[in-house]
Chain A
């Protein structure tokens, strides 16, 4: 579903953000990209969304090249950002309706909105609330609701649990599991090793633009992922 092939990004100032990175995310899989700030995790998502062009290599979603045919590729993906802001003066329903329309979902009814609000764990009355009265956790959930309304086969999430309280983070992880069960290919960038261990089917460890290791769930299910992460980082340093 999501395929990254020898993806490289060098910025105009010479900084190498991505260095020949390759991996795939299959349907029904949660792939977590771990790494420190500036490791290149978000750059991959930015290239997939055509926010920035790659220097070389390719990223495809559902077989469509994200750089050559971005509009086609973006039909099959939803994006949940680190800090979902949305439009504060709009109600949740207005925000949902606007982004659903952008995603090509027109003529949605109240029951559709109610259903998606329940799915993400937001009370129905929250539909009528203006976003400026939402907490960060509620906005994050609404961000997922927007992704769900589009109902694409792939979802990109950039640091989605950043700033969430433990309860909201747990609810969020439950939501991710349900999405996986529905066959979504989910790519998450995070430096939250604890939650990555809880949810990921595979983790990719990035350092200074390079994907230094990919570990399957069985590799870290009964091990300390943090140790694995630190070990891989030291290995990469030695190399």
Chain B
């Protein structure tokens, strides 16, 4: 039975078309992704090297240390959000870092139409081919009368159904696996990438398993649709409708639905709130600072300036303390005010940011959960996650950026004390800074983290296959096989 299904399919025109599509698109997609990665890696290396050469050793109170995110080699499988995730961190003395994304004008078409990577080829092309392979598997044979002829023998319906699923699946995998082999050879030809790289092959193997499971889900869905319809033309129409819903519509509609269900202020509004809060705090700080200075207005300004100029050496030169002794209480009060102000900034700005982040997380969770009604979305979440280009990577980037910001603050910024007072500002070197600025060591999500985050999608993917198979079984048991 299975052999007959495979032979029938291999002799069919749909097999030729599927083979052409797979053998052209998948290797081509892999080649384009490889070249894109190589280019991004070269750009990263160049930018990183130039920055280190120019600014890496210029350690001063004015330095603005930057960190760079290297491109993930796994992004060759799914570019996902890679082109939206920032690739640069700009640290600051305040503790609040900013990010930068190099958006090239040449990328516009790619951003507009999306990239033809493995994720696209499987999610859009292979899923459509799977339905095209199977839509007439039962209804076509019913119309031709061969289904009745088969069932006139001592053979169960579940046997026929299973043969249909396995036969169609295997025949679809023949060109698919061949195209993957060619794609792997294309990868191996690269100087920078090898499928055997330790950071590549575990993810590649899991992506392969997940991909094969997704294709099985779509094949089972096609057989289910075929078993729910009487004529091949109806099966084809329903299949196309279902494909549009689960592959195109549901994943795109879910964020819009989430925005309606749980509206959240835009980033611009939140940024404005942050600026207003920061301005208010700075005004208060300046007023209080002025009050302190007024309180100590009997101290000559030259003495104050001298105190801040020699403050860093007072520990080692006790003889200098006597002449500036009167400035110490002023310094103590200003230090306490500065600390208090910094804490208030951190608290208030942090709260605004955290509130917005929490709300965005809820909105995103709603969008993701709605989209998970489609097996194509579950597949996309899994593969993009495994390729380090999924939704989690934004958080991962922020974690890395914050870690780098803290490291730089401790290593560089905390060596200097910046004092703002009524007629200007003064920088005091508290400790000798290191010779070079720290370099960012970017950590992508580990396999354990990815699998933990993708567990729900794994369970749902298995659930979809099981559901479609059970429904196909139940439907086919009542299917009217009469031509």
Max count, chain B CB within 10 A of own CB: residue among A71, A102, A103 = A102
Q: Is the CB of A52 within 8 A of B482?
A: yes
Give chain A interface residues in 111-159, CB to chain B under 8 Å. Answer: 143, 146, 150, 156
Q: Is the CB of B4 within 8 A of A98?
A: yes
Residue-wise, chain B 1-22 has the 8 Å CB interface mask toward A (1 for contact) of 1001001100110000000000
Q: A51-B481, A79-B149, A87-B146 are in contact. Are A71 and B8 (CB under 8 A)?
A: no
Residue-wise, chain B 130-146 has the 8 Å CB interface mask toward A (1 for contact) of 00000000000000111
Q: Is the CB of B154 within 8 A of A74?
A: yes
Smallest distance from the beta carbon of A142 to chain B beta carbons, Å?
Answer: 11
Judged by a CB distance under 8 angstroms, whether A201 is at the interface is no
Judged by a CB distance under 8 angstroms, whether B209 is at the interface is no
Q: Is the CB of B154 within 8 A of A89?
A: no
Smallest distance from the beta carbon of B159 to chain A beta carbons, Å?
Answer: 10
Q: Is the CB of A81 within 8 A of B149?
A: yes
Q: Determine the chain A residues whose CB is within 8 A of the CB of B151 once the complex forms.
A: 49-51
CA of A160 to CA of B483, assembled, Å:
15
The residue that B154 contacts in the complex, of A71, A81, A98, with Cβ under 8 A, is: A71
Q: Determine the chain B residues whose CB is within 8 A of the CB of A38 once the complex forms.
A: none
Q: Is the CB of B153 within 8 A of A74?
A: yes
Q: A50's closest neighbor in chain B, by CB? A: B151
Given contact pairs A83-B145, A89-B11, A102-B155, a sample of 18 additional A-B residue pairs in the complex whose CB atoms are under 8 Å apart:
A49-B148, A49-B151, A49-B152, A50-B151, A51-B482, A52-B480, A71-B155, A74-B153, A74-B154, A79-B149, A79-B152, A81-B149, A81-B483, A94-B7, A103-B154, A104-B153, A104-B154, A146-B149
Q: Determine the chain B residues whose CB is within 8 A of the CB of A143 once the complex forms.
A: 149
The residue that B12 contacts in the complex, of A72, A85, A89, A99, with Cβ under 8 A, is: A89
Q: Determine the chain B residues whose CB is within 8 A of the CB of A16 once the complex forms.
A: none
Judged by a CB distance under 8 angstroms, whether B45 is at the interface is no
CA of A150 to CA of B152, assembled, Å:
11
Judged by a CB distance under 8 angstroms, whether A55 is at the interface is no
Give chain A interface residues in 23-39, CB to chain B under 8 Å. Answer: none
CA of A235 to CA of B158, assembled, Å:
46
Judged by a CB distance under 8 angstroms, whether B156 is at the interface is yes
Smallest distance from the beta carbon of B206 to chain A beta carbons, Å?
Answer: 38
The residue that B146 contacts in the complex, of A51, A72, A85, A156, with Cβ under 8 A, is: A85
Smallest distance from the beta carbon of A106 to chain B beta carbons, Å?
Answer: 13
15 contacts between A and B (CB under 8 A): A51-B482, A52-B480, A52-B482, A71-B156, A74-B153, A79-B149, A79-B152, A81-B148, A84-B149, A85-B145, A90-B11, A99-B150, A102-B1, A104-B153, A150-B153
Residue-wise, chain B 446-483 has the 8 Å CB interface mask toward A (1 for contact) of 00000000000000000000000000000000001111
CA of A123 to CA of B143, assembled, Å:
28
Residue-wise, chain B 300-332 has the 8 Å CB interface mask toward A (1 for contact) of 000000000000000000000000000000000
Smallest distance from the beta carbon of A9 to chain B beta carbons, Å?
Answer: 13
Q: Determine the chain A residues whose CB is within 8 A of the CB of B482 once the complex forms.
A: 42, 46, 51-52
Range class of the B interface residue count: 20 to 34
For the complex, count residues of A whose C-beta is within 8 A of B.
31
Smallest distance from the beta carbon of B474 to chain A beta carbons, Å?
Answer: 16
Q: A51-B481, A51-B482, A52-B480 are in contact. Are A102 and B145 (CB under 8 A)?
A: no
Residue-wise, chain A 65-82 has the 8 Å CB interface mask toward B (1 for contact) of 000000110110111010
Smallest distance from the beta carbon of B375 to chain A beta carbons, Å?
Answer: 31
Max count, chain B CB within 10 A of own CB: residue among A46, A52, A81, A90 = A81
Q: Determine the chain A residues whose CB is within 8 A of the CB of B149 once the complex forms.
A: 79, 81, 84, 86, 99, 143, 146
CA of A51 to CA of B150, assembled, Å:
11
Q: Is the CB of B148 within 8 A of A79?
A: yes
Q: A83's closest neighbor in chain B, by CB? A: B145
Q: Is the CB of B480 within 8 A of A89?
A: no
Smallest distance from the beta carbon of B340 to chain A beta carbons, Å?
Answer: 81
CA of A87 to CA of B480, assembled, Å:
20
Q: Is the CB of A99 within 8 A of B483?
A: no
CA of A173 to CA of B12, assembled, Å:
36
Give chain B interface residues in 140-189, CB to chain A under 8 Å. Answer: 144-146, 148-156
Q: Determine the chain B residues whose CB is within 8 A of the CB of A87 once the complex forms.
A: 4, 8, 146
Q: Is the CB of B483 within 8 A of A83?
A: yes
CA of A101 to CA of B153, assembled, Å:
10
CA of A25 to CA of B456, assembled, Å:
60
Q: Determine the chain A residues whose CB is within 8 A of the CB of B8 once the complex forms.
A: 87, 89-90
Q: Determine the chain B residues whose CB is within 8 A of the CB of A104 once the complex forms.
A: 153-154
Smallest distance from the beta carbon of B12 to chain A beta carbons, Å?
Answer: 7
Smallest distance from the beta carbon of A226 to chain B beta carbons, Å?
Answer: 29
Q: Determine the chain B residues whose CB is within 8 A of the CB of A51 once the complex forms.
A: 148, 151, 480-482
Q: Determine the chain B residues whose CB is within 8 A of the CB of A46 once the complex forms.
A: 482
Q: Is the CB of A77 within 8 A of B152?
A: yes
CA of A74 to CA of B152, assembled, Å:
6
Smallest distance from the beta carbon of B278 to chain A beta carbons, Å?
Answer: 73
Q: Determine the chain B residues whose CB is within 8 A of the CB of A84 once the complex forms.
A: 145, 149
Q: Is the CB of B150 within 8 A of A102?
A: yes
Smallest distance from the beta carbon of A161 to chain B beta carbons, Å?
Answer: 16
Q: Determine the chain B residues whose CB is within 8 A of the CB of A146 once the complex forms.
A: 149
Q: A73's closest neighbor in chain B, by CB? A: B154
Q: Determine the chain A residues whose CB is within 8 A of the CB of B11 once the complex forms.
A: 89-90
Q: Determine the chain B residues whose CB is within 8 A of the CB of A99 once the complex forms.
A: 149-150, 153
Q: Determine the chain A residues whose CB is within 8 A of the CB of B12 once the complex forms.
A: 89
Smallest distance from the beta carbon of B13 to chain A beta carbons, Å?
Answer: 10
Q: A50-B151, A51-B482, A81-B483 are in contact. Are A86 and B146 (CB under 8 A)?
A: yes
CA of A81 to CA of B152, assembled, Å:
10
